[in-house]
Amino acid sequence: MIPADFAYYAPTSLDEALALLGQYGDDAKLLAGGHSLLPALKLRLTAIGHLIDLGRISSLAYIREDQGKLCLGTRTTHYEVETSALLQQRCPLLAECASRIGDVQVRNRGTLGGSLAHADPAADYPAAILALEAEIQAVSAGGKRGIKAEEFFVDLLTTALRPGEILTEVRVPPHAAHTGGAYVKVPQPASGFAVVGVAALVTLDAEGQCAAVRVGVTGAAAKAFRARDTETALTGRMPDDGTLAQAAARATTGIETSGDIFASAEYRAHLTRVYTKRALAKAVERAR
């Protein structure tokens, strides 16, 4: 339980952190809340020569509105996302998702950027980030780029982040008028990680039909995904109980669900369909 030796750096600016990352390359790691990285170092699943702590870069911790988007610095903790009045009012789906992460200690320490960069297949944020069609910004010595949520999650613990890049900001659109969002999950009993988690965002038109539907699923497979067939099946339809059930039944079409000691692949597929219907029903209720 003792990590291999490493040098520790505590930069106070993004430029300083980027310079250190450029200098030490593959032999360096960024530290945010440390909830995933420190156990990996202590268990010696990973070893590095240089640890760059982002904890003193205060410019990476904020939640604000900018040019019609809600912008979150990546050092923002889950607790800050959960309790943000701006998010609760303008993007309650993201605040609700953060409120379902682990327990209060985990939410006080874990960060949005650390969670996204780690890309744990059972992490909660990816479901909401996908449903919200967020943009994730990364900065390197070469400049800044935006990555669409759907392109960000590449595989198990693998993202589109390139060597030398630091995640700096997540940009989400506020909920449109007559839109409801909901995040529901089956938590793993010990850690709270999602055995399955589903985020749904539904916009209703003047007749009460589904004008837009987006569903993000986490925990069910090696990486989080959009339940596209469900979205298509519901768009343009009246969201009555039968239609929601039919649409939710397609949530795992084309998806290879994962099995482990907590749930077999078949059970995860079943849970995904059941929780997709629950998330959709709640989102519709909130949109009305």
Residues that bind ligand FAD (CB under 6 A): 29-37, 54, 74, 78, 101-102, 106, 110-111, 113-115, 117-118, 123-125, 161, 166-167, 191-193
Provide, rounded to whole angstroms, the least separation between the CB of residue 250 and ligand FAD: 25
- Choose between 11 and 239: whose C-beta lies nearer to ligand FAD: 11
Provide, rounded to whole angstroms, the least separation between the CB of residue 42 and ligand FAD: 12
- Choose between 11 and 110: whose C-beta lies nearer to ligand FAD: 110
- Choose between 36 and 252: whose C-beta lies nearer to ligand FAD: 36
- Choose between 120 and 234: whose C-beta lies nearer to ligand FAD: 120
Provide, rounded to whole angstroms, the least separation between the CB of residue 211 and ligand FAD: 30
Q: What does the DSSP assignment read for the chain?
A: --PPP-EEE--SSHHHHHHHHHHHGGGEEEESS-TTHHHHHHTTSS--SEEEE-TT-GGG--EEEETTEEEEETT-BHHHHHH-HHHHHH-HHHHHHHHTSS-HHHHHH-BHHHHHHHT-TT-SHHHHHHHTT-EEEEEETTEEEEEEHHHHEEETTEESPPTT-EEEEEEEPPPPTTEEEEEEEEE-TTT--EEEEEEEEEEE-TTS-EEEEEEEEESSSSS-EE-HHHHHHHTTS---HHHHHHHHTTTTTT------SS--HHHHHHHHHHHHHHHHHHHHHHH-
- Choose between 34 and 208: whose C-beta lies nearer to ligand FAD: 34
Residue number closest to ligand FAD, CB atom = 114
Provide, rounded to whole angstroms, the least separation between the CB of residue 218 and ligand FAD: 8
Provide, rounded to whole angstroms, the least separation between the CB of residue 67 and ligand FAD: 22
- Choose between 73 and 239: whose C-beta lies nearer to ligand FAD: 73
Provide, rounded to whole angstroms, the least separation between the CB of residue 118 and ligand FAD: 4
